[in-house]
Amino acid sequence: MAEIDHCCSTQLIDGDGGFNVAGLDNFMRTTKLSNCGLSYAVVAIMGPQSSGKSTLLNHLFHTNFREMDAYRGRSQTTKGIWIAHCVGIEPFTVAMDLEGTDGRERGEDDTTFEKQSALFALAIADIVLINMWCHDIGREHAANKPLLKTVFQVMTRLFSPRKTTLLFVIRDKTKTPLEYLEPILREDIQKIWNAVSKPESHKDTPLSEFFNVEVTALSSFEEKEEQFKEQVAQLRLCFFNSISPGGLAGDRRGVVPASGFSFSAQEIWKVIKENKDLDLPAHKVMVATVRCEEIANEKLLHLSSDEDWLALEEAVQCGPVSGFGRKLSSILETYFSEYDVEAFYFDEGVRNAKRKQLESKALDFVHPAYLNLLGHLRFKALEDFKSKLEQMLNKGEGLAASARTCTKSCMLEFDQGCADATIRQANWDASKVKEKLRRDIDAHTSSVRNAKLSELMVTYEKQLIRSLSEPVESLFDAAGRDTWASIRKLLTLETAIAASEFSTAISSFELDRSTVEKMLQDLRDYARNVLEKKAREEAGKVLIRMKDRFSAVFSHDNDSMPRVWTGKEDIKTITKDACTASLRLLSVMVAIRLDEKPDKIENILFSSLMEGSVAVASSQDRSITTSDPLSSSTWKEVSPKNTLITPVQCKSLWRRFKAETEYTVTQAISAQEAYKRSNNWLPPPWAIVAMVVLGFNEFMLLLRNPLYLLLLFIAYLLSKAMWVQMDVPGQFQHGTLAGLISISSRFLPTVMNLLRRLSEEAQGNQTPEAPRQQSSLAFESFWNQNQLNPTSSIPESSVSSNISASDGGIEYSSPNLTRRRNTKIQEAELS
Ligand SMILES: Nc1nc2c(ncn2[C@@H]2O[C@H](COP(=O)(O)OP(=O)(O)OP(=O)(O)O)[C@@H](O)[C@H]2O)c(=O)[nH]1
């Protein structure tokens, strides 16, 4: 178990070779040796056992190494190796007291520890005091000779000379002056050096290359204590500034910085114990490596718990931090500087390499905070871009120009933020984040642009629907030969208008030519689709349209007046015309003809179906020939895409059309026959012949009697007057029953009116009020007649038809009856 003298000295290595790590660490800590850098010196002393080594060190350095009690006999006092801080000497000096050589305690053959401790002292110490008795100088079998041999032999195992100062302290000096003793001693030393077997590389290397040899002599401590103390005090002065040039250890080499002393000593002892050669340069590098790494790790540890850093890291979690780069640089610089100070004395190569590692690790450690900050900057810049762009767009500025302006300002803002976040110690690259920001800005611009373009597109699509749908419907209503030409014209015109307006509207988007072309093409395609869709929709209503067309042609004359079936009309021709018109409408509706390709659909339809239409009038069906061109499901010249009604569907439609219009034709034929019957008021010829044969006698009687003839004439005149007055043919125009009712209601007023007029004419004394009264009566008669009409079974059209008044033939119609009645009164008054 290693001993620790808490007063002054510490056992570094015990007698069994155990290294007192804790003791050394405690020594380093309490004496603050670690802070000394290279400003420290190690002085070791070796020599025979009980030769006064400890006594000398204690007087020389004011240490407290254990000394032998002279009154108890000469025995081993110091076991192993001890160290102590030399009080009052600058620079910091460590005294190392080694176990004495030649000790009887270990026996003559056990020199292992002796060699190990000698090698350790040479590797660690800058100055080695070699304690020797004065009377041993020049003696062949002096006690110090084996010791020197050992020293010189192990020296070669250190690989390179350290220029250790060997200070020979001659104890118990005699009256012989030192001037005489020293050459003899040096000669002895040289002899020993020459005798020592050396490696090939140092065969001819002089002793001076390895050691500075100094000699001093002291009086006996026991016999001339005062002189001894004085001489020691003088010698003590040599240890002040010992490491400065010219000092005792001014030439020393391969010094390990103080902070690495503990580790270095441990490693050296370990190597020595393992009986390996000591490669001091490599050892120095190794110590530097370990120590620099330790220092760097210590700095990293302190950085991670640095209050300023923790505050900065916390702040950056929440948002951008102004002056981030400056603050972080300062924090890092503190620890890097500390490293530089502490690692300053270690091997430069190692130090720099470890410094780089420290920087790299420290930067890696703080980099997430930097990235976090960049993330905040990017987010902020993007949000600013969005709001600024929206504001500019709300002011009515163009998208492309606005996006450019906003991008520029936001990128500048981001760049400034990045510059503020940059630290001196690193060349961090924000370009990826900047690229991401740029991509985000572009994506947002693109999404806004797409939304705006979609809005515009929808607007113009609606405009196209508005401008195409109703006109196209109207054109299909009046379907004829020019329908598709008109539709094409309409499509071209409206598409051109929409495309032109759309081009103007999107000019502020600054789209490339191909995109604009594509959008315009989309708009054109949309217009075409609208038309095609409308055409399909209208094609679905083709049967209704055909029937309407048929009805329009069939029920109206050339002046578009409703047709009255009087029997003079050629129903067959009219039916054919109506069917032709309907078929033409069908031929228009069967295909989309937006590409102006001629086709023969109309001819096919007419040649295949028109004979069938005539058959409607004649109520005859013709069988379909086997080479029927309408038995196909496609038109020859029309693609399926443009087909609205297939040939087969045409045939089916035509069949339904015929069936559904047949009733109309039949009705017309019936109406015509009824009209003929109602107008044929003469009795049948056989009745006339019978009347002539049977009434011949009465007829002759009438002819012979002029009075009967006169009465007959008067009756004829009255009948004729009544016929004209009551407009008998007109009343029967709407059917027999209606005619009879109308005539019966008008008969009595007409007779009364006629009789009154005749009597007035006979009297010949008309009053001035007479014309007015006549007009009034005539109007009342007319009014009474018209009041009956709305309740009669006469169709609505007849209500609005012209009505001849008895007093002047002025036209009236029931919707404006009241107004016209007033007009009538005024006109009658005027007349
Ligand atoms: N003759 C003589 N004796 C001395 C001198 N200095 C010390 N001594 C005596 O030598 C004895 C041993 O002294 P230490 O200082 O313990 O010797 P040491 O070499 O440290 O002994 P170890 O540590 O056991 O090797 C003591 O009794 C001292 O009084 C000296 O200068 N001359």
| pLDDT averaged per 10 residues, the chain (length 831) | 54 92 93 91 92 93 83 66 93 93 61 83 91 84 74 72 89 90 89 84 84 93 93 95 92 88 92 81 88 94 95 93 94 95 90 93 94 94 95 92 94 94 91 94 94 93 93 90 92 94 92 92 93 92 92 88 84 91 92 88 87 43 56 87 92 92 89 79 78 83 78 85 75 69 75 74 52 39 35 31 32 35 40 35
Cα of 97 vs centre of ligand 1, distance in Å, is: 13
Residue 502's SS3 state is helix
Ligand 1 close to Cβ of residue 65 (< 6 A): no
Based on the fold, state whether residues 761 and 626 are members of the same structural domain. no
CATH number at residue 200: 3.40.50.300
Q: Which of 606, 542, 552, 616 is nearest to 578 (CA)?
A: 552
Residue 165 lies in a domain: yes
Residue 42's SS3 state is strand
Cα of 222 vs centre of ligand 1, distance in Å, is: 9
Residue 551: give the domain boundaries: 542-679
Q: Which of 534, 630, 632 is nearest to 587 (CA)?
A: 630
Residue 448 lies in a domain: no
Identify residue 225 by its one-letter amino acid code: E
Q: Are 166 and 128 in contact (CB under 8 A)?
A: yes
How many angstroms separate the CA atoms of 55 and 231, rounded? 13
Based on the fold, state whether residues 548 and 469 are members of the same structural domain. no
Of 508, 539, 570, the residue that ends a domain is: 539
Ligand 1 close to Cβ of residue 78 (< 6 A): yes
How many angstroms separate the CA atoms of 239 and 16, rounded? 31
Q: What are phi and psi of 57, to 5 degrees?
A: -60, -40
Based on the fold, state whether residues 771 and 671 are members of the same structural domain. no
Cα of 48 vs centre of ligand 1, distance in Å, is: 10
Q: Which of 575, 589, 607 is nearest to 649 (CA)?
A: 589
CA 663 and chain centroid, separation:
69
Residue 685 lies in a domain: no
Residue 528 lies in a domain: yes
Atom from ligand 1 closest to the CA of residue 228: 31
Ligand 1 close to Cβ of residue 647 (< 6 A): no
Cα of 726 vs centre of ligand 1, distance in Å, is: 178
Pairing of strands 81-85, 92-98: antiparallel
Identify residue 386 by its one-letter amino acid code: K
Distances (CA, A) of 405 to 397, 400, 506: 11, 9, 18
Q: Are 403 and 440 in contact (CB under 8 A)?
A: no
Q: Are 551 and 585 in contact (CB under 8 A)?
A: no
Q: What is the DSSP string of 583-613?
A: HHHHHHHTB---S-----HHHHHHHHHHHHH
Ligand 1 close to Cβ of residue 101 (< 6 A): no
Of 493, 510, 539, the residue that ends a domain is: 539
User: What are the b/e assignments for 689-719, b being 16+ CB within 10 Å?
Assistant: eeeeeeeeeeeeeeeeeeeeeeeeeeeeeee
Residue 298 lies in a domain: no
Determine which helix (DSSP H) or strand (DSSP E) holds 12, and give its type and residue range: strand 9-13
Per-residue confidence (pLDDT) for residue 226, from 0 to 100: 94
Nearest CA to ligand 1 atom 25: 49
How many angstroms separate the CA atoms of 529 and 468, rounded? 11
Say which residues have a Cβ less than 8 Å from residue 97's Cβ, sequence separation at least 6: 9, 44, 45, 53, 54, 57, 65, 78, 81, 82, 83, 84
Based on the fold, state whether residues 475 and 599 are members of the same structural domain. no
How many angstroms separate the CA atoms of 523 and 499, rounded? 7
Determine which helix (DSSP H) or strand (DSSP E) holds 828, and give its type and residue range: helix 817-830
Q: How many domains does the chain have?
A: 4
Based on the fold, state whether residues 634 and 515 are members of the same structural domain. no
48 is in an annotated binding site: yes
Q: Are 667 and 556 in contact (CB under 8 A)?
A: no
Q: Are 45 and 232 in contact (CB under 8 A)?
A: no
Q: Residue for token digits 């003298």?
A: 5
Q: Are 124 and 96 in contact (CB under 8 A)?
A: yes
Ligand 1 close to Cβ of residue 133 (< 6 A): no
Pairing of strands 81-85, 9-13: antiparallel
Determine which helix (DSSP H) or strand (DSSP E) holds 496, and give its type and residue range: helix 483-505
349 is in an annotated binding site: no
Please give the model's pTM, rounded to 2 decimal places: 0.62
Q: Indicate the burial class of 285 (C-beta count within 10 angstroms; 0-12, 13-18, 19 or more).
A: middle
Identify residue 138 by its one-letter amino acid code: G
Based on the fold, state whether residues 118 and 209 are members of the same structural domain. yes
- ipTM for this model: 0.97
The alpha helices in 506-598, defined as continuous H runs, are 513-539, 542-554, 571-589
Based on the fold, state whether residues 641 and 754 are members of the same structural domain. no
Range list of β-strands (E), 137-231: 164-171, 211-217
Residue 419 lies in a domain: no
416 is in an annotated binding site: no
Which residue among 222, 223, 227 has the greatest number of ligand 1 atoms within 8 angstroms of its CB, and so is best to mutate? 222
47 is in an annotated binding site: yes
Based on the fold, state whether residues 70 and 217 are members of the same structural domain. yes
Based on the fold, state whether residues 114 and 30 are members of the same structural domain. yes
Say which residues have a Cβ less than 8 Å from residue 384's Cβ, sequence separation at least 6: 406, 409, 410, 413
Per-residue confidence (pLDDT) for residue 372, from 0 to 100: 93
What is the CB neighbour count within 10 angstroms for residue 428? 17
Nearest CA to ligand 1 atom 12: 50
Terminal Cα distance for the chain, rounded: 160
Nearest CA to ligand 1 atom 8: 52
Based on the fold, state whether residues 745 and 609 are members of the same structural domain. no
Pairing of strands 127-133, 211-217: unpaired
Q: Are 784 and 770 in contact (CB under 8 A)?
A: no
Atom from ligand 1 closest to the CA of residue 77: 24
Cα of 54 vs centre of ligand 1, distance in Å, is: 7
Ligand 1 close to Cβ of residue 106 (< 6 A): no
How many angstroms separate the CA atoms of 643 and 654, rounded? 17
Cα of 577 vs centre of ligand 1, distance in Å, is: 155
Based on the fold, state whether residues 116 and 256 are members of the same structural domain. yes
Ligand 1 close to Cβ of residue 68 (< 6 A): yes
Say which residues have a Cβ less than 8 Å from residue 47's Cβ, sequence separation at least 6: 53, 100, 101, 129, 130, 131, 132, 144, 147, 169
Q: What angle do CA 607, 608, 612 make, to 5 degrees?
A: 105
Cα of 309 vs centre of ligand 1, distance in Å, is: 59
Token pair of 324 as six digits: 């981030």
Based on the fold, state whether residues 103 and 252 are members of the same structural domain. yes
Q: What is the DSSP string of 71-105?
A: GG-S-----SEEEEE-TT-SSEEEEEEEPPBT-TT
Pairing of strands 127-133, 164-171: parallel
Cα of 215 vs centre of ligand 1, distance in Å, is: 19
How many angstroms separate the CA atoms of 785 and 475, rounded? 44
Token pair of 548 as six digits: 């309407």
How many angstroms separate the CA atoms of 525 and 203, rounded? 102
52 is in an annotated binding site: yes
Rg (C-alpha) for the chain, rounded Å, is 69
Of 679, 698, 718, the residue that ends a domain is: 679
How many angstroms separate the CA atoms of 758 and 748, rounded? 15
Distances (CA, A) of 775 to 71, 287, 724, 819: 183, 145, 18, 17
Residue 209 lies in a domain: yes
Determine the longest span between alpha carbons in the chain, in angstroms. 222
Distances (CA, A) of 256 to 36, 141, 246, 346: 11, 37, 20, 7
Q: Across the beta sheet with 40-46, what order do the strands follow?
A: 9-13, 81-85, 92-98, 40-46, 127-133, 164-171, 211-217
Token pair of 663 as six digits: 């009733």
Token pair of 354 as six digits: 């470890």
Q: Are 89 and 95 in contact (CB under 8 A)?
A: no
Which residue among 51, 225, 232 has the greatest number of ligand 1 atoms within 8 angstroms of its CB, and so is best to mutate? 51
Residue 423 lies in a domain: no
Q: Are 810 and 827 in contact (CB under 8 A)?
A: yes
Ligand 1 close to Cβ of residue 80 (< 6 A): no
Per-residue confidence (pLDDT) for residue 824, from 0 to 100: 41
